[in-house]
C-alpha cells in the first residue's frame, strides 16, 4: 500500500514537472515572439519616421527655394562633384556596397546557408528593376512627351535633337535625384536594421568553414575575422552614404527643380519602398525580409 502511494506521488511529481517545463517553454516562445514583434515595429517606425522627415525636408526646402530665400552656393551648381559623381551614380554606389554587405550579413545570420543570401540579392534585383522603371522609363517618357524645345525648329525631333541643335528641352521633369536619394536612404535603413539588432543582441560573428579531405569541415578563424572586419567597414561606408544622401536631399530641395517635381519624385520613392518592404517582401517568403 505504501509502495503504491509512493509510486502515485512520484508519478504526480513527474507530471507536475512536465507541466512546469511545458509552461516555461511556452513562455519562452511567447517572449521570443514578442521580441521579434518589437524588433519589427522598431524597424518599421524607423523607416516610417525617415520617410516623414525626408518629405518634410523636401517641402520646407522647396518653399525656401520658391520664395528665393536661399543664397547661391557651391551646391547650386548642378555640375558640382557631389552631384555629378555621387548623386547621379548613387544607385551604382548603393549596389557596390550593399551587395557584399547583404551577402556577409546573411552568412553571419545563417552560417553555411546560401538561400538567405540569394533572397537578399533578389531584393536588390527587384529594387534595381523599380529604379530602372521609374527613372529610365516613366520619368524620361513624361519629360519627353510634356516638353518642347526652346528653339522651335527642333521641337519636332524630341529632346535629343533639341539639345544637339543647341536648344533646351522644357518638359515636366520629375526629380530623379529626390527619388534616388530617398529610396536609397529607406532601403539602407531596412537592410541595416538586422545588423544593428544582431550587434546589440549577441554580436556579429561570421563562421567561415572549409572542407578538408578526410577531416570534414574545419573553421578558418583568421578568414572569419577578416570577413567580420569587412562587414563592419561596409556598415561604416553605408552609414556615411546615408548621411551624405540626407545632405544631398537638403541640397536638392533648396537648389533644384520645382516643388511639384520634388514632391512627386519623393512620393514615388516612398511608394516604391512601402510597396516592396511593407507589402510585397513581407508577404512573400521568397524575399526573406531581414526582420520577418
Q: In this predicted model, which residue has the larger pLDDT, 155 or 60?
A: 60
Helix axes 176-201, 221-255, angle to 10 degrees: 150
| Mean pLDDT, range 157-182, rounded to an integer | 84
- Decide if pLDDT at 216 tops 60: no
Residue 204 phi/psi, 5° resolution? -100, 115
| Mean pLDDT, range 219-248, rounded to an integer | 81
> What integer pLDDT is reported at residue 238 of this predicted model?
94
Residues 6+ apart with CB under 8 A from 207: 111, 112, 219, 224
Longest dimension (CA), the chain: 114
Q: In terms of C-beta density within 10 A (0-12 exposed, 13-18 middle, 19 or more buried), how is residue 241 classed?
A: buried
- Decide if pLDDT at 201 tops 80: no
Grid cell digits, residue 209 = 568553414
| Mean pLDDT, range 68-93, rounded to an integer | 83
| Mean pLDDT, range 54-80, rounded to an integer | 85
Distance from C-alpha of 152 to C-alpha of 210, rounded to nearest angstrom: 68
Distance from C-alpha of 283 to C-alpha of 242, rounded to nearest angstrom: 27
Q: Per-residue pLDDT tens for 249-268?
A: 999 999 888 899 999 999 99
- Decide if pLDDT at 119 tops 50: yes
> What integer pLDDT is reported at residue 148 of this predicted model?
82
| Mean pLDDT, range 226-241, rounded to an integer | 88
Distance from C-alpha of 176 to C-alpha of 247, rounded to nearest angstrom: 16
Mean pLDDT of the chain: 76
Place of cell 520619368: 139
- Decide if pLDDT at 283 tops 80: no
Residues 6+ apart with CB under 8 A from 150: 162, 167, 168, 169, 170
| Mean pLDDT, range 4-27, rounded to an integer | 45
> What integer pLDDT is reported at residue 34 of this predicted model?
36
Domain-wise residue ranges, the chain: 39-287
Give the chain's count of helices (H) and strands (E): 10, 4
| Residue 167, helix vs strand vs coil | coil
Q: Select, from the ranges 72-81, 182-191, 202-211, the one with the highest average predicted confidence (pLDDT).
A: 182-191
Helix axes 176-201, 90-109, angle to 10 degrees: 20
- Decide if pLDDT at 284 tops 70: no
CB-side neighbour CA atoms (13 Å) of 218: 7
What is the separation, in whole angstroms, between the first and last Cα of the chain? 57
Confidence of residue 146 (pLDDT cuts 50, 70, 90): confident
| % of the chain beyond a pLDDT of 70 | 70
Q: In this predicted model, which residue has the larger pLDDT, 29 or 106?
A: 106
- Decide if pLDDT at 122 tops 60: yes
pTM, two decimals, is: 0.75
Q: In this predicted model, which residue has the larger pLDDT, 223 or 95?
A: 95
Q: In this predicted model, which residue has the larger pLDDT, 129 or 165?
A: 129
Q: In terms of C-beta density within 10 A (0-12 exposed, 13-18 middle, 19 or more buried), how is residue 273 classed?
A: buried
Amino acid at each position: 500500500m505504501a509502495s503504491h502511494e509512493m509510486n502515485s506521488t512520484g508519478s504526480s511529481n513527474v507530471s507536475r514537472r512536465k507541466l512546469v517545463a511545458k509552461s516555461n517553454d511556452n513562455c519562452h516562445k511567447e517572449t521570443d515572439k514578442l521580441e521579434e514583434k518589437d524588433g519589427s515595429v522598431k524597424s518599421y517606425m524607423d523607416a516610417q519616421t525617415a520617410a516623414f522627415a525626408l518629405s518634410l525636408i523636401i517641402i520646407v526646402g522647396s518653399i525656401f527655394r520658391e520664395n528665393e530665400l536661399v543664397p547661391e552656393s557651391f551646391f547650386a551648381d548642378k555640375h558640382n562633384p557631389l552631384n555629378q559623381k555621387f548623386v547621379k551614380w548613387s544607385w551604382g554606389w548603393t549596389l557596390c556596397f550593399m551587395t557584399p554587405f547583404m551577402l556577409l550579413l546573411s552568412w553571419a545570420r545563417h552560417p553555411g546557408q546560401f538561400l538567405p543570401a540569394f533572397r537578399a540579392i533578389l531584393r536588390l534585383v527587384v529594387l534595381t528593376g523599380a529604379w530602372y522603371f521609374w527613372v529610365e522609363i516613366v520619368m524620361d517618357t513624361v519629360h519627353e512627351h510634356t516638353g518642347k524645345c526652346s528653339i522651335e525648329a527642333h521641337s519636332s525631333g524630341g529632346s535629343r535633337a533639341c539639345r544637339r541643335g543647341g536648344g533646351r528641352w522644357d518638359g515636366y521633369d520629375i526629380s530623379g535625384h529626390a527619388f534616388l536619394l530617398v529610396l536609397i536612404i529607406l532601403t539602407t535603413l531596412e537592410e541595416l536594421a538586422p545588423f544593428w539588432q544582431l550587434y546589440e543582441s549577441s554580436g556579429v560573428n561570421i563562421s567561415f568553414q572549409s572542407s578538408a579531405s578526410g577531416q570534414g569541415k574545419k573553421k578558418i578563424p583568421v578568414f572569419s575575422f577578416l570577413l567580420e572586419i569587412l562587414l563592419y567597414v561596409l556598415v561604416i561606408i553605408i552609414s556615411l552614404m546615408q548621411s551624405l544622401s540626407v545632405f544631398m536631399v537638403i541640397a536638392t530641395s533648396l537648389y533644384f527643380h520645382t516643388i511639384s517635381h520634388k514632391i512627386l519624385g519623393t512620393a514615388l520613392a516612398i511608394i516604391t519602398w512601402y510597396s516592396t518592404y511593407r507589402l510585397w517582401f513581407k508577404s512573400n517568403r521568397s524575399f526573406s525580409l531581414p526582420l520577418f
